[in-house]
């Protein structure tokens, strides 16, 4: 079966399997067929300890997950520990006028799904009275789950009212004191009760007060022109210094989440709504009464991957790097919406576990490879589902939306769905966020093909991707060959100077260097795509445009004095990590200038990562963006600054995976501020765009990358840095690529074993000096600065050679000190006729490995040069000689490992006699 036929069959089988399991995806992971990836006996080198990667896996062992700790109680709470010990029930009792009973539990890491509990009993405060209400609030961090009230009045309310309408029922706690208004006119009241207007969530609702208003309060009103003019009226604020139960979710955007208010009437199972991303859950008995519950837990509704579900894995000698890899994998899993949930039949990759509940193209650049490298077929299907949604919402001018499903609750104006038809539950209107994000969308489609080998899908989408590239091309200033600041809706608008925006949500005017490099990357990727499923002519056009952009960026935006690429022509002295990281990765940096760039970038480093650059800040105040930092770590790895890449990884992501960090979720965060925290509670603490360490540890440290579709061809180039070993598995369309290596920098040795599918091929690059000896399956392919086999070459500290699929056993060792040699020469027969030629047998003996040629002289005259084989032997025949006795001398000149020497023999030539 050819590779593409195999790919089509394999993808068809996966679609059938996932369609079957989609209907069963409730409360746990998709059930997929296939064998788990257990390394073969050859997958680990003898010097490394036995593989133990399974211990790093963060996915829950069971679809039902229970808390690991009780963090806090308030009011009258008895036996709270029972929620962790699961040996009975916890009882909460709330009395009128007293602090409501509450208990805060910790699940230890990021969770997703509805909470459940068994209600043992519920008791009203008096016979015939109302049953108590249990409020459930969740948060990713403990500091997010109790916050002061800050909302506003939503309707004009007269004097004498005892109930006020408010914009949000989040952060309200019964019996706390609130202030309605501000300053001298503020009215202080106690909260008697509160309720959302509709269902659960953080949205608008009402607060019942302990005393009537003594002055009216107002909603906001816009200014009126008059006459006479009427000034704008701001909404009356409602605040409290008391910290009430809070949700950090955004149910208005995601259509799920928020606070739950449950008023059960008798024993039985309690179920909350879905909470898409949290670590902590706060249970509060908001009204008087008593309630006893037990077995509180979560029905886990992200993709639940245990070790057997990992189709790719990674391990090294560094525990922290290992934990980074699996934290990134788990982050991705928390971002996966299972088929059938949120009213949508397909699965999707959302930007984070909580908040938006939307697909984002920039995030997919990292999430796509992470999904496929860790989950194999399942990951591929999630990527494909998400890409299909992107392409459904592609605009007529080719613009791919930054998010195809962002604006939840909006009306759908797409004529194919009917005018102003509401979007389905969970579905939103597209957001055409930026030109650059449209390019990310196109690159995500190309990436999917490179990793999956889904040939049919590539051919089906080619025209749409070409259209997306044409849209981005409209922003290229063809005179300067740089991306220009043009109106995303009207690129020909002559008055537009605002520029585009990228992941840090700020518009960047001028000729912004990163946008030109990003378009260059898209063109190179598109040229590859065309060569696979399109035309060579279009590929050549894309390459030619890319060449012009690269030359323009290098000639106009390189800051020679500073040794870095400028942020833009308007900010030539600002050093940005993303700009220069990409420049390092894609060969923009002038040869020999790489060390200057690497050093210049450190101006942005701090203990928590690297800031975006001087004066750069996103609208919420964050300055450290892991998405952009991944571009810098990728650039450092590309130019072999492995130590710098590891240092920056540990600063940025190491603090996220520290269980002592109050923001720890086991997953990676969306962003940080300059002091290592976050500036708002809606910041996502399980955000897939931050998972670049997982991709880079697989592709640059273990070293395995796809070249041809579905790894039909590949490259393996490890960057050991200070690691003693690494090993892992990468899933491909035709099998797995199993790789392991050990490194001893002091001894100058490196050993690697690779097993790849027989139908594939590629190149392998191993760290080696020019004078190292590199062996593959026992054969010397590089010796003494010369290629001996497999088209071996040496550059930048690596020896690279060609490899076919199958098993490879590779070793690198330094050349030894020159060993002494002894040349023995045998001439047979020792007496020959003048018409005959004697045979010559030569052996160069040494503790080293003699190589090269020997010279054969007869009576001082050079008569032959012979090549030594791998055992130091050579054979040949002497020329016909005149009668007499002749002296034969064999000269070995030596090589980088052995000394020169010579050997002698004689031969007697006689005339024929009767």
User: pLDDT tens, 169-224?
Assistant: 999 999 999 999 999 999 999 999 999 887 666 889 999 999 999 999 999 999 88
Q: Which of 128, 82, 97, 127 minimizes the C-alpha distance to 283?
A: 82
Least confident of 16-25, 158-167, 860-869: 16-25
> Do the Cβ atoms of 70 and 282 come closer than 8 Å?
no
Domain 557-702's class? mainly alpha
Helix (H, G, I), strand (E, B) or coil at 867: strand
Question: What pLDDT, in 10s, does the model give residues 130-150?
Answer: 999 999 999 999 999 999 999
22 pLDDT above the threshold of 50? no
Percent above pLDDT 90 for the chain: 83
- 683: pLDDT confidence band, cut at 50, 70 and 90? very high
pLDDT value of residue 504:
87
Which pLDDT score, from 0 to 100, does residue 227 have?
Answer: 84
**574-588, 613-627, 686-700: least confident range:** 613-627
CB 137, CB 281: distance < 8 Å = yes
On whether the CB atoms of residues 616 and 506 are closer than 8 A, the answer is: yes
pLDDT for 239 equals: 98
Cα angle value 214/220/222 (rounded, 5°):
135
Q: Residue 582 has what pLDDT? A: 98
Give the separation between CA 321 and CA 326, rounded to whole angstroms: 9
549, containing H or E segment:
helix 536-556
Q: What is the dihedral of CA 326, 359, 510, 473, to 10 degrees?
A: 110
**Number of residues assigned to the chain:** 914
**pLDDT over threshold 70, residue 3:** no
Spatial distance between the Cα atoms of 272 and 300, rounded to a whole number of angstroms:
13
Q: Which of 378, 369, 151, 347 is nearest to 246 (CA)?
A: 151
Per-residue pLDDT at 32 exceeds 50: no
- Using pLDDT thresholds of 50, 70 and 90, give the confidence band for residue 253: confident
* 610 bridge partner residues: 605
Any bridge partners for residue 233, and if so which? 221
For residue 193, the model assigns a pLDDT of 94
The answer to whether 272 and 263 have CB atoms below 8 angstroms apart is no
- Concatenate the DSSP letters of all residues of 461-504 into one string: HHHHHHHHHHHHHTTEETTTTEE---BTTBTT-TT--S-EE-TT
| pLDDT band at residue 342 under the 50/70/90 scheme | confident
**Cα 845–850–856 angle (5° rounding)?**
80
Contacts with 387 (C-beta within 8 Å, 6 or more apart), sequence order? 364, 444, 445, 448, 461
pLDDT at residue number 469: 98
pTM of the model as a whole: 0.87
Which pLDDT band holds residue 409 (cuts at 50, 70, 90)? low
pLDDT tens for 289-316 read 999 999 999 999 999 999 999 999 999 9
- The SS3 call for residue 237 is strand
Q: Interior CA angle at 243 toward 237 and 248, to 5°?
A: 85
Q: Which tokens hold the place of 582?
A: 């990409």
The architecture CATH gives domain 146-245: Beta Barrel (2.40)
Q: For the residues 111-123, what does the mean pLDDT come to? A: 97
Secondary structure class of 695 (helix, strand, coil): helix
Query: What is the dotted CATH code of the domain comprising 821-910?
Result: 2.60.40.10
pLDDT given for residue 45 in this prediction: 37
Contacts of 307 (CB under 8 A, 6+ apart): 36, 53, 54, 57
Q: How far apart are CA 780 and CA 812, in angstroms?
A: 10
Check residue 93 and give its pLDDT. Answer: 98
Strand ranges for 519-647 from DSSP E = 558-559, 564-565, 605-606, 609-610
pLDDT band at 23 (very low <50, low <70, confident <90, very high): very low
Q: What's 687's DSSP letter?
A: B
> Across all residues in the chain, what is the average pLDDT?
91
Residue pLDDT, tens place only, 411-441:
555 555 455 555 566 688 899 999 999 999 9
Half-sphere exposure of 472 (CA within 13 A, CB side): 32
Give percent above pLDDT 70 in the chain: 92
Choice between 415 and 680, residue whose per-residue pLDDT is larger: 680
Distance in angstroms (rounded) separating the CA atoms of residues 174 and 889: 106
- Asked, as a colleague might, if the bond just before 228 is cis with ω within 30 of 0, I would say yes
Element (H, E) at 458: helix 455-473
Per the CB < 8 A criterion, the answer to whether 491 and 475 are in contact is yes
- Categorize the per-residue pLDDT at 252 as very low, low, confident or very high, splitting at 50, 70 and 90: confident
CATH topology of domain 64-145+251-299: Jelly Rolls (2.60.120)
- pLDDT tens-digit series, residues 768-827: 988 899 999 999 999 989 999 999 999 999 999 999 999 999 999 997 778 899 999 999
| Domain residue ranges in the chain | 64-145+251-299, 146-245, 557-702, 821-910
CB atoms near residue 912 (< 10 Å): 8
Beta bridge partners of 440: none
Q: Each residue of 827-859: pLDDT tens digit?
A: 999 999 988 999 999 999 998 889 999 999 999
Q: What is the pLDDT of residue 174?
A: 95
- Find out whether 578 and 631 touch, Cβ atoms under 8 Å: yes
Give the least confident one: 36-45, 592-601, 790-799: 36-45
């Amino acid at each position: 079966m050819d590779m593409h036929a195999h790919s089509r069959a394999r993808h068809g089988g996966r679609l059938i399997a996932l369609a079957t399991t989609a209907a069963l995806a409730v409360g746990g992971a998709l059930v997929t067929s296939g064998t788990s990836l257990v390394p073969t006996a050859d997958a680990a080198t003898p010097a490394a300890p036995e593989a133990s990667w399974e211990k790093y896996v963060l996915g829950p062992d069971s679809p039902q997950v229970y808390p690991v700790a009780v963090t806090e109680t308030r009011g009258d709470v008895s036996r709270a520990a029972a929620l962790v010990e699961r040996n009975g029930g916890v009882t909460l009792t709330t009395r009128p006028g007293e602090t409501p009973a509450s208990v805060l539990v910790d699940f230890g890491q990021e969770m997703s799904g509805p909470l459940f509990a068994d209600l043992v009993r519920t008791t009203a405060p008096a016979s015939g009275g109302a049953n108590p209400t249990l409020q459930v609030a969740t948060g990713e961090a403990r500091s997010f789950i109790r916050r002061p009230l800050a909302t506003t009045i939503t309707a004009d309310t007269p004097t004498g009212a005892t109930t006020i309408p408010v914009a949000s029922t989040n952060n309200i706690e019964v019996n706390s004191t609130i202030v309605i208004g501000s300053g001298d006119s503020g009215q202080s009241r106690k909260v008697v009760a509160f309720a959302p207007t509709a269902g659960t969530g953080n949205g608008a609702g009402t607060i019942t007060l302990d005393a009537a208003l003594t002055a009216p309060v107002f909603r906001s009103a816009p200014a009126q022109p008059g006459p006479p003019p009427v000034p704008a009226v701001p909404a009356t604020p409602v605040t409290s210094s008391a910290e009430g139960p809070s949700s950090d979710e955004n149910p208005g955007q995601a259509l799920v989440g928020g606070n739950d208010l449950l008023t059960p009437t008798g024993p039985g199972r309690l179920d909350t709504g879905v909470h898409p991303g949290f670590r902590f859950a706060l249970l509060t008995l908001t009204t008087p009464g008593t309630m006893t519950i037990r077995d509180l837990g979560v029905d886990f509704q992200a993709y639940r991957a245990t070790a057997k579900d990992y189709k790719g894995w990674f391990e090294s000698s560094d525990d922290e790097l290992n934990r980074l890899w699996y934290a990134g994998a788990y982050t991705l899993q928390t971002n996966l919406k299972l088929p059938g949930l949120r009213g949508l039949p397909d699965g999707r990759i959302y930007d984070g576990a909580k908040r938006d509940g939307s697909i984002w193209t920039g995030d997919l650049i990292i999430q796509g490879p992470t999904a496929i490298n860790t989950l194999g077929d399942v990951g591929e299907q999630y990527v494909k589902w998400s890409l299909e949604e992107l392409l459904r919402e592609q605009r007529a001018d080719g613009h791919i939306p930054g998010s195809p499903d962002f604006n939840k609750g909006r009306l759908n104006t797409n004529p194919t769905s009917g005018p102003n038809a509401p979007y389905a539950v969970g579905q939103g209107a597209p957001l055409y966020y930026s030109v650059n994000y449209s390019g990310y969308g196109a690159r995500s489609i190309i990436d999917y093909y490179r990793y999956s080998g889904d040939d049919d899908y590539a051919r089906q989408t080619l025209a749409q991707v070409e259209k997306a590239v044409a849209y981005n091309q409209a922003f290229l200033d063809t005179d300067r060959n740089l991306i220009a600041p043009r109106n995303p809706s009207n690129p020909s608008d002559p008055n537009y100077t605002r520029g585009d925006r990228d992941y840090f949500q700020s518009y960047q005017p001028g000729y912004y260097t990163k946008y030109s490099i990003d378009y260059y990357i898209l063109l190179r990727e598109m040229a590859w795509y065309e060569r696979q499923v399109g035309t060579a002519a279009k590929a050549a056009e894309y390459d030619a445009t890319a060449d012009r952009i690269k030359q323009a960026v290098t000639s106009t935006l390189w800051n020679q004095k500073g040794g870095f690429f400028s942020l833009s022509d308007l900010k030539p002295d600002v050093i940005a990590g993303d700009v220069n990281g990409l420049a390092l990765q894609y060969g923009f940096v002038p040869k020999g200038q790489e060390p200057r760039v690497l050093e210049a970038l450190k101006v942005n480093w701090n203990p928590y990562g690297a800031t975006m650059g001087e004066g750069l800040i996103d609208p919420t105040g964050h300055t450290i963006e892991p998405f952009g930092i991944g571009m810098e770590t990728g650039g450092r790895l590309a130019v072999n600054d492995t130590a710098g890449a590891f240092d920056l990884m540990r600063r940025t992501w190491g603090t996220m995976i520290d269980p002592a960090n109050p923001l720890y979720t086991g997953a990676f965060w969306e962003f940080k501020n300059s002091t290592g925290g976050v500036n708002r509670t809606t910041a996502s603490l399980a955000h897939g765009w931050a998972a670049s360490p997982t991709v880079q540890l697989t592709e640059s440290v273990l070293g395995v990358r796809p070249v041809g579709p579905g790894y039909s061809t590949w490259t393996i180039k490890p960057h050991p840095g200070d690691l003693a070993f690494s090993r892992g598995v990468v899933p491909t369309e035709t099998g797995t690529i199993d790789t392991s290596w050990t490194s001893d920098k002091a001894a100058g040795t490196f050993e690697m074993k690779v097993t790849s599918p027989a139908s594939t091929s590629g190149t392998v690059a191993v760290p080696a000096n020019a004078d190292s000896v590199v062996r593959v399956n026992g054969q010397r392919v590089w010796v003494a600065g010369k290629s001996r086999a497999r088209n071996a070459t040496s550059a930048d500290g690596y020896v690279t050679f060609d490899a076919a699929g199958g098993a490879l056993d590779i070793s690198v060792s330094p050349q030894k000190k020159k060993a002494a040699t002894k040349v023995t020469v045998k001439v047979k027969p020792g007496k020959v006729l003048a018409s005959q030629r004697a045979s010559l047998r030569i052996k160069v003996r040494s503790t080293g490995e003699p190589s090269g040629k020997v010279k054969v002289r007869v009576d001082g005259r050079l008569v032959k040069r012979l090549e030594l084989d791998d055992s130091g032997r050579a054979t040949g025949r002497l020329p016909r000689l005149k009668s007499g006795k002749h002296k034969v001398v064999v000269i070995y000149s030596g090589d980088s490992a052995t000394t020169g020497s010579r050997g002698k023999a004689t031969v007697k030539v006689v005339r024929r006699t009767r």
